[in-house]
Structure 1
Amino acid sequence: MKLVLFNNLEESDKVNAVERLISHSTPSQDFFFMMALSVLTAVLGILLESVAIVIGSMLIAPLLSPILSLSLGVTTADSDLMNRSLLTIVKSLFVGVSVSAVATLLFAGGKLPETLIISSEPSLLYVAVAIVAGFAASFALVKPKLNETLPGVAIAVALVPPISLIGIGIAQWSWITITEAFLLFGLNALGIIFAGMVTFSLMNFYTKKKVVENVIVKEDKKLEEEEGREEEVIE
């Protein structure tokens, strides 16, 4: 007996989900600019001890898309998508940590609040939240009527705060903060990847490898054209 929940999908919805996911995880300057803004907002929220600002930073962050596209790459056994997604995630980490460290040095004046409003200490509960949020994100991505719930999922999974804490730890030379925050980010990311793989497999996305290949070619071409226009402007 098949689960209707995962099988009452239009093929067009699957194709649209693949296109949207790969497009939103393209390593463009726009992507990394939004990543930098989200981390900067999170750092300022931490320094101001404002939970609302930190929550807002999670809504700006585009990092959920490349993590889910990595899940899709594993599900479809597409090495190009896996490499592309991993590269975007690594670059995002570099950008986010750099922005966080610089912002801490500039705005904290060497001092931080005695008690940070977010914790860097990893636990299995965070992994559980990441897995649940990963299921929710990958499921809502494919269901057009549920797309509006994705911002809420981005808040639940909390990818930006650990990245911000890594940069804060570097600025403060706190290796405990750095290692704990990095481990927390890694656990969150792995939880989302696992949940995404399970969801995409149940939805039979492994049959969409050709669609994935075509979308990657199209998005890479757009990226090359964008970079070409920027070079012309510089010249």
Structure 2
Amino acid sequence: MNKILDFIDLTKGEDEKQVVLENVKSNISFRGANLWILACAIVVASVGLNVNSTAVIIGAMLISPLMSPIIGAGFALGIYDFGLLKKSLKNLLIATFVSLAVSTIYFYLSPFKETQSELLARTSPNIYDILIAFFGGLVGVIAITRKEKGNPIPGVAIATALMPPLCTAGYGLAIGNLRFFGGALYLYTINCVFICVATFLIVKFLKYPRIKTFEKAREKQITYAISILTIILVLPSIYFAYTLFEERKFDQKVSTFIQNEFVDNGFTVIYKKTRFKTNPKSIEVAFLSKKFTDFEKVELNQKMKIYGLANTELKIRQDTTNLKQDILNQIKNEKTNLNEKDVLISSLKKEIQDNKYDNNSLLAEAKILFPSLTDISISNHPFNSGKEKIEIIPVVIYTSTKPLSTTDAEKLTLWVKTRIKKEKIDVFWKNS
């Protein structure tokens, strides 16, 4: 047992407590160089979030000095140094306001305001973010108390991720989205508090000398205050984690339902959108050619219960035009000359045949502009545009390794219109 305790003993390799405290105090202040480094790191992180580059975001986290005042606050609580606590919190507030100001200005001036996945990931914190902050903070403070600092410090800067939430909060302010701002600021607060709590626990465990001595009752009050703050932050994150878990389960059930009922039956799904937070939940799908009757729709909605998709509505988007029936109805109701209809049908067939496209050439050209494309095909389809008028509209279906961004999708549509000299086309993406 002694060997095991000796093996996990944290006091081994520990630096002198006074030296550690001096190092912590010296890195708290945000003035001069530290402030400039912070502002530059915020700009780098904002650019990374703006262009959805994980590597750039990681680089910004490595150069950020934001963690120092949080560690200082944890040490101050552990040794009851309220002067150090006040200084740490003051510098943390300065750093936070500077970071928010710089990121808000950047995103306000940036011409690209699309909400990238890296930004979205920082708007809905959950219990896992608490675990990352807490254990990342433990690693950070343990490394700080060692004689040999080693490699953990850069890893802690990346894991605890203080910069991206602040930049995301600035993005929320810049575009006027208070939900993004609140979610990102909540994640930032979680990270700060749990790094501080982890530091407090390690300082207590390593028995750093107290600056002030209080009565037991006063110490309990301080401990209770920390505990209450921790619980207040933990409870919403548990709810968010539960919601995330339920949403992932819902998405998985939807994928199974679509695979079994549509894809395995040979129907090509060209569009899918799910809504988890509505009541009832909904699944919206569209198909390349298959049309479902009202009876089939009712049957499919009933089948969803088998897949655990109760309280979920299936919406099928499809062209309700039936050219054959429309023509027959016109013949019956308006007593139109059958020969005129034959001429109409023949002219439609001829127009469809005359407008054939060289898909191979189109793909070769398109891949130069959009490298992620793997296939593209265009074919003409008749659509009833109302008032007894039938139009031939080119339908474009492309496949790619990943969905094109909104900007690239618009560029592709404009390019195809120019290339085939058509004003009106329909474009659909199919997963490759």
Same-fold call, TM > 0.5?
yes
Corresponding residue SS for 1:27: coil
Alpha-carbon distance between aligned partners in 2 of 1:17 and 1:147, rounded to the nearest angstrom: 15
Alpha-carbon distance between aligned partners in 2 of 1:3 and 1:174, rounded to the nearest angstrom: 52
Q: Please state if 1:104 is matched with 2:107.
A: yes
Give per-residue Cα distances to partners, 1:151-194, cap 9 Å, x unaligned.
11110000000000111111000000000001000111111011
Which of 140, 144, 149 is the aligned partner of 1:141? 144
Alpha-carbon distance between aligned partners in 2 of 1:121 and 1:196, rounded to the nearest angstrom: 25
Larger radius of gyration: 2
Which of 11, 25, 29 is the aligned partner of 1:26? 29
Q: Is the 8 A contact 2:69 2:89 kept in 1?
A: yes
The equivalent of 2:125 in structure 1 is 122
Alpha-carbon distance between aligned partners in 2 of 1:167 and 1:181, rounded to the nearest angstrom: 9
Alpha-carbon distance between aligned partners in 1 of 2:63 and 2:210, rounded to the nearest angstrom: 29
Alpha-carbon distance between aligned partners in 2 of 1:127 and 1:165, rounded to the nearest angstrom: 18
CA shift for structure 1 position 31: 1.7
Q: Is the 8 A contact 1:38 1:61 kept in 2?
A: yes
Which of 201, 207, 232 is the aligned partner of 1:198? 201
Q: Is the 8 A contact 1:141 1:147 kept in 2?
A: no
Corresponding residue SS for 1:140: helix
1:30-179 paired onto structure 2 within 5 Å: 30-107=33-110, 109=111, 111-118=112-119, 119=121, 120-179=123-182
Q: Is the 8 A contact 2:13 2:148 kept in 1?
A: no
RMSD over equivalenced CA pairs, Å:
1.8
The equivalent of 2:19 in structure 1 is 16
Counterpart AA for 1:204: K
Alpha-carbon distance between aligned partners in 1 of 2:114 and 2:52, rounded to the nearest angstrom: 7
Which of 184, 187, 190 is the aligned partner of 2:190? 187
Q: Which runs of 5+ in 1 are unaligned?
A: 211-235
Q: 1:102–1:18: structure 2 CA closer, same or farther, 3 Å change rule?
A: same
Alpha-carbon distance between aligned partners in 2 of 1:20 and 1:48, rounded to the nearest angstrom: 36
Q: Which runs of 5+ in 2 are unaligned?
A: 213-432
Counterpart AA for 1:163: L
Alpha-carbon distance between aligned partners in 1 of 2:161 and 2:115, rounded to the nearest angstrom: 22
Q: Is the 8 A contact 1:69 1:85 kept in 2?
A: yes
Q: Is the 8 A contact 2:49 2:116 kept in 1?
A: no
The equivalent of 1:209 in structure 2 is 211
Alpha-carbon distance between aligned partners in 2 of 1:41 and 1:179, rounded to the nearest angstrom: 22
CA shift for structure 1 position 9: 5.1
The equivalent of 1:217 in structure 2 is none
Q: 1:114–1:177: structure 2 CA closer, same or farther, 3 Å change rule?
A: closer
Alpha-carbon distance between aligned partners in 1 of 2:125 and 2:114, rounded to the nearest angstrom: 20
Counterpart AA for 2:10: F
Q: Is the 8 A contact 2:80 2:210 kept in 1?
A: no
Q: Is the 8 A contact 1:68 1:196 kept in 2?
A: yes
- Kindly indicate which of the two structures has a greater share of residues assigned to helix: 1
Give per-residue Cα distances to partners, 1:98-132, cap 9 Å, x unaligned.
0001111222x2x4234332412110100000000
CA shift for structure 1 position 138: 0.3
CA shift for structure 1 position 209: 3.2
**Percent same amino acid among aligned pairs?**
25
TM-score by length of 1: 0.82
Q: Is the 8 A contact 1:43 1:103 kept in 2?
A: yes
CA shift for structure 1 position 21: 1.2
Counterpart AA for 2:197: F
Counterpart AA for 1:76: I
Q: Is the 8 A contact 1:133 1:157 kept in 2?
A: yes
Give per-residue Cα distances to partners, 1:198-220, cap 9 Å, x unaligned.
01111111x1639xxxxxxxxxx
TM-score by length of 2: 0.46
The equivalent of 2:236 in structure 1 is none
Which of 8, 11, 24 is the aligned partner of 1:7? 11
